[in-house]
Amino acid sequence: MSCTMDFAFCPLCGGKKINFVDNKKWVCSDCGFDLYHNVAAAVNVIIADKNGFVLFEKRAKEPRKNFLALPGGFVDADEGAEQAAMRECKEEAGLIIQRVTYLCSLPNTYEYKNIVYKTCDTFYTADLPTGIESVTSLTKTLCAQKSEVQEFVAVRIYDERSLNAVPFAFENARNGLRIWLETRQ
């Protein structure tokens, strides 16, 4: 999949000879300007209980509105991935995470408003908050960021079949959860 965005004019010199090359950058042959289409960093947080119930968010917006996603999002400028994971949980769910543990990273493709972004998705695990015994009870205590989340859902993930039954917003969540499943066996 290649980038679907083309510039009509070079943002530096205004020339019309700007092209997307090597599936990674725009180059203006008039002035030599390069603009790289770098990989964006994204985070996902797997919060599960001892019975294998995982916390999901039902998306409130496109892309993939009404499908399930893990808490997470893009890393902001001047922010580490771990901080982004904890921030996203707080913003989207009002959930204060004390610590996240790195699980894996996977390449991904994310299309938004007809522009294709390549991402590096990092996956973290986090413990349930103190005093909460199950993801099902956790879903009742969370406060959804209405612009991002319709509701919270607890889904039991225990094997490949249960994983394949989830209507994921993004296929990479399935891939990350597959690795998570392997660590639990």
Alpha-carbon distance of 75 to 170, in angstroms, equals 17
Alpha-carbon distance of 42 to 14, in angstroms, equals 32
The answer to whether 181 and 159 are in contact (CB under 8 A) is: yes
pLDDT grade, residue 7 (50/70/90)?
confident
Q: Enter the tokens of residue 122.
A: 């990092």
Residue type, 74: F
The answer to whether 150 and 144 are in contact (CB under 8 A) is: yes
The beta strand positions in the chain, using DSSP E, are 18-21, 25-28, 34-36, 40-47, 53-59, 68-69, 72-74, 101-112, 115-126, 149-156
Over 70: is that where the pLDDT of 2 sits?
A: no
Is the bond leading into 167 cis (omega within 30 degrees of zero)?
no
pLDDT grade, residue 4 (50/70/90)?
low
Q: What are phi and psi of 155, to 5 degrees?
A: -125, 130
CB atoms within 10 A of CB 171: 11
- Of residues 149 and 111, the one with the higher pLDDT is 149
pLDDT grade, residue 170 (50/70/90)?
very high
Bridge partners of residue 26, in order along the sequence? 20, 35
Instruction: Give the side-chain half-sphere CA count within 13 A for 138.
Output: 27
Give the pLDDT confidence score for residue 108 in this predicted structure. Answer: 93
Give the pLDDT confidence score for residue 37 in this predicted structure. Answer: 85
Over 90: is that where the pLDDT of 173 sits?
A: yes
Over 50: is that where the pLDDT of 1 sits?
A: no
Alpha-carbon distance of 121 to 131, in angstroms, equals 30
Residues 117-140: tens digit of each pLDDT: 889 999 999 999 999 999 999 999
Residues 61-86: tens digit of each pLDDT: 998 999 999 999 999 999 999 999 99
Average pLDDT score, the chain: 93
